[in-house]
Structure 1
Amino acid sequence: MRLPSLLAGLVVTSFLTACVPTPPTEVSKGFIDGRTTDQGLPAMQAFLPGAPVGAMRGNAEIAADFLDLEFRMESGRALPVMTRFEGPITIGLKGNVPAIALTELQRVLGRIRNEAGLDVSMARPGTEPSIIIDFQPKSALRRAVPSAACFVVPNVSSFGEYMKERRTSTTDWGRITKREKATIFVPADTSPQEVRDCLHEELAQAMGPLNDLFRLPDSVFNDDNFHAVLTGFDMLMLRVHYAPELRSGMNEAEVAARLPAILARLNPSGQGRGGTIKALSPRMWISMVESTFSGRDGARMASAERLIAIARAQGWSNDGRMAFSYFARARARTGSDMAGAIADYNEAARIWRSTPGAAIHVAHVDMQLSAFALSSGQFDQVLVMTERAIPVARQHQNASLLSSLLAMRAEALETLGRRDEARSARLDSLGWARYAFGSDAQVRARMSDIAALASRGARG
């Protein structure tokens, strides 16, 4: 299940709205050039597949991660056996399929075939797919599962069937001993990036492990939503899940006994590599994460303080979850305690810089700190931070982060009188914003918010 983009994405909006006391002014920059649409915005950009990057941690640590991903649900409930599709996997589309969906689906299926080695393809006409991707109105999905942006369900073939069976054993992953069919529900009326992100995470969970773990710095199997597309670690998890040594119906002890040899074969670079086997996150810490990001305004700071206290009690001094706790408290402080928020963001970045697979997390911190710098007139600092974060956002294919960084850079360049560079960065930003945010109105609103921050900084 992919959560709505509130843990990473909406932090940007929270900062912008907190720092702009008056309604944002209309952006009056010149947008039109040879690549523009009829609305005056550049053509939408899209990512091409990059070079595969392997898992970056040791096999002993990865084995523990695999078992916790396989034998527990996101709720914390234990699963008695592992399950998978035994045989070729076919994919079908139904519902109000967005124009971008087939292109993004073909891209991710190509990656899964090439990087994870799975036998997966589009279903032939007239055949029943193993996995159906059903595009429904976002409002209908939110009514059914308010906490999810998109989700996957076993043993149903349509949204109507899911609504009928959702409280029965039919849709209970814990009752399954082998996967026969599943349906992924994705909003039809959303941005291209959210469609793509849902396809990546939900396809991986429909075929592979069902759990998400906050402790994973290098995976989409993590409810922090920093990673937007499947990583090298995720592809390794799928490879292990479908290793010939394993089969549906095996219990945790049986899988654990086979894992060392499987990982030695599939990930030889992880043999003998150091790493710390991490325990599951306490349910209270997870509850405080949810309260910090989605609770009432008055309760968010109290939840953030409790989050930090739990992380310290767990001894997570150099754990990514400690960094995320600081990141969460920084977000809660934004708008009321700028100095405290900046200190927390810097502490989060310090921990993430020493964490394999967390470069995208540091880039998110750079974006937050760039927003602070932009609003306070530190335009040279905006250029330093965006210059190092933009390549990371591109590599990790996060268009919402990339467009925001480029827009901040454009505003800083404009204010410093480097207008040609500013215009180039702004056009690039707008092209990625159309992919990230969807409608032209949302694109313009985001750009207006960032321009208002720059205006505030220029006034001093």
Structure 2
Amino acid sequence: MVLRLTLLAGLMALSACTALPRMEIPERRDAALPATLPPMAQFALRSAPAPERSNAAIARDILDLSFQMESGREITRLSRFEGPITVAVVPGAPASLSADLDRLLARLRREARIDISRVSRDSGPASIVIETLPRSRMQRVVPQAACFVVPRVSSWNDFRRMRNGRDLDWTTLETRQQIAVFIPSDVPPQEIRDCLHEEVSQAIGPLNDLYRLSDSVFNDDNFNAVLTGFDMLVLRAYNDPALRSGMTRAEAAAALPGILARLNPQGNGGGLGPSGASPRAWIDAIETALGRGSTNDPRRIAAARQAVAIARSQGWQDNRLAFSYFALGRLSLTRDQDLSLASFLAAGQIYRQIAPGGIHMAHVNMQLAAFALSSGQAERALELTGAALPAATQAENASLLATLLMIRAEALDLTGRPSEARAVRLDSLGWGRYGFGRTDAVEARLNEIAGLVPRT
């Protein structure tokens, strides 16, 4: 997103699932880190599967993404880069950023057919400049941003000097020439990677996010963190020669059917699917529910309840209703476990219909597996984590993958399979290093999940 809100900055601490004390076993050493951690795990470079909905629906989505800002302001003219795109990184970025950026650019070249390449900072002006800085420094200027992208600047100093002027107004652009992406330097590698995918994609493509999109990073629910097949098709169409900077919505609407018929022939035919704008009241409720503050804040829980009520009154049966239930489930974990469990089950029922075995269902299954583990249902925890692991891997979500494996290790211990548990727990640590970053953060998650196991 243009200003990526910190709505789902990380998974909720799983120790909140239960008030039960930690399992008192003398050999609890399995929950501690080994003397030597495995290397940070990395996902294999793979292409995302193609979108499954119709080209008519995709054309509508592209128009809604391209001609409106997240605030609701209209964008009257399409803007994009014309010609090859270059990307440079300001020196001092975390080591993980370089490899993840190279992987992203390789995917954009291969899947979206975009002429984009990396250049050194001292080789001349780049189309896109990526600069990292401490989160606290960044949020002193833009408090709600996890990372963001702005036009017509090439450095943080430029941004600070120009931030109150009209030059940073995306709606005044017709052709993109200089864009800067700002990412925190002191966050886990996975969060840096997620920012790269979201902000670079908006630097070269649409600027809006739509909650109705269940298979896209152009969605503030943040379930999808790396570019999907839908996203790659959107970016390929957005940069197709049949479109050009300065086009109106009507002109783009006339061109898109032919573009998509050529790029995505399997999408010809079929209906439009879920549509309609998300009411501002529902968006405000969701942003309040998953914004800053304590999870015990009654205002946040009330906002989640309101989001569910609005979604139901709208007659939605899509991911927006499911996300409302998911938010309510997370926020009610420590206050009302019956409500929390019921909310996760309701969310899962909808997600299972929308995308069986997808990343949304994997998040729900992780929460349900935590409930199962805390009540001693080890086999159920194994079943739920096993079902979620493929989707977490496909979505390249290392923090979710590590959490699932940690739950699985505790469940294996409960079923009397300690050697399997040790191997799974060790596997989780490599993913944890990428997903959670610091060693103490990995250890904290390991101990939170160990604390779910009921006392014997």
Query: Is the Cα contact below 8 Å between 2:148 and 2:199 reproduced in 1?
Result: yes
- Is residue 223 of structure 2 the alignment partner of residue 222 of structure 1? no
Of stretches 92-101 and 22-31 in structure 1, the one that deviates more from structure 2 is 22-31
Query: Could you tell me which residue of structure 2 aligns to residue 312 of structure 1?
Result: 312
| 2-structure distance, mates of 1:415, 1:6 | 34
Instruction: Supply the AA of the counterpart residue of 1:351.
Output: I
Shift of 1:59: 1.1
Give the conservation status (yes or no) of the 8 Å contact 2:52–2:267.
yes
Deviation at 1:52, TM superposition (A): 3.1
Q: From 23, 42, 60, give the equivalent of 1:46.
A: 42
Q: Distance in 2 between matches of 1:225 and 1:80?
A: 27
How much has 1:42 moved relative to structure 2? 1.6
Instruction: Please state whether the residue corresponding to 1:257 is helix, strand or coil.
Output: helix
CA distance in 2, matches of 1:356, 1:384: 19
Give the drift of 1:142: 1.3
Give the Cα separation in 1 of the matches to 2:135 and 2:383: 38
Preserved CA contact (<8 Å) 1:8 1:224: no
Query: Which shows bigger deviation, 144-153 or 442-451?
Result: 144-153
Q: Which amino acid aligns with 1:313?
A: S
Inter-CA distance 262–254: structure 2 relative to 1 (3 Å threshold): same
Once the two structures are superposed, residues 176-228 of structure 1 have per-residue CA deviations (whole angstroms, 9 ceiling, x without a partner) of 11101100001111111011111111110001011111111000111111111
Q: Which residue of 2 aligns with 1:253?
A: 250
Read off the aligned partner of 2:235 and give its amino acid letter.
L
Aligned counterpart for 2:118 among listed residues 118, 122, 147: 122
Tell me the amino acid that sits aligned with residue 338 of structure 2.
Answer: A
Aligned residue number for residue 369 of structure 1: 368
Aligned counterparts of 2:224 and 2:115: Cα–Cα separation in 1: 25
SS at match of 2:90: strand
Q: Residues 416 and 6 from structure 1, CA distance in 2 versus in 1: closer, same or farther, beyond 3 angstroms?
A: farther
Give the residue type in structure 1 aligned to 2:378: F
Give the letter aligned to residue 60 of structure 2: A
Residues 27 and 444, structure 1, Cα contact 8 Å, conserved in 2: no
1:232-272 CA deviation, whole Å, 9 max, x = no partner? 00000101101111100011111011111111111111111
Cα 1:23–1:290 change in 2 (3 A) is farther
Give the structure 1 partner of residue 67 of structure 2. Answer: 71
Q: Is the 8 A contact 1:66 1:237 kept in 2?
A: yes
Extract unaligned runs of 5+ from structure 2. none
Please list, as runs of the form range in 1=range in 2, the aligned pairs for 1:175-190 lying within 5 A after superposition: 175-190=172-187
Question: RMSD across aligned C-alpha pairs, in angstroms?
Answer: 2.0
Name the amino acid aligned to 2:374: S
* Equivalent-residue separation in structure 2 for 1:196 and 1:216 (angstroms): 21
TM-score (norm 1): 0.93
- One-letter amino acid of the structure 2 residue matched with residue 264 of structure 1: A
> Could you tell me which residue of structure 1 aligns to residue 8 of structure 2?
7
Q: How does 1:200-279 map to 2 (within 5 A)?
A: 200-279=197-276
Does the aligned pair in 1 maintain the 2:22–2:455 contact within 8 Å?
A: no
Regions of 4+ moved over 4 Å: 20-27
Query: For residue 100 of structure 1, what is the aligned residue in structure 2?
Result: 96
Secondary structure at the residue paired with 1:453?
coil
Q: Note the residue ranges of structure 1 that are not aligned, 5 or more in a row.
A: none
Distance in 2 between residues matched to 1:367 and 1:330, nearest whole Å: 12
Q: Distance in 1 between matches of 2:375 and 2:20?
A: 14
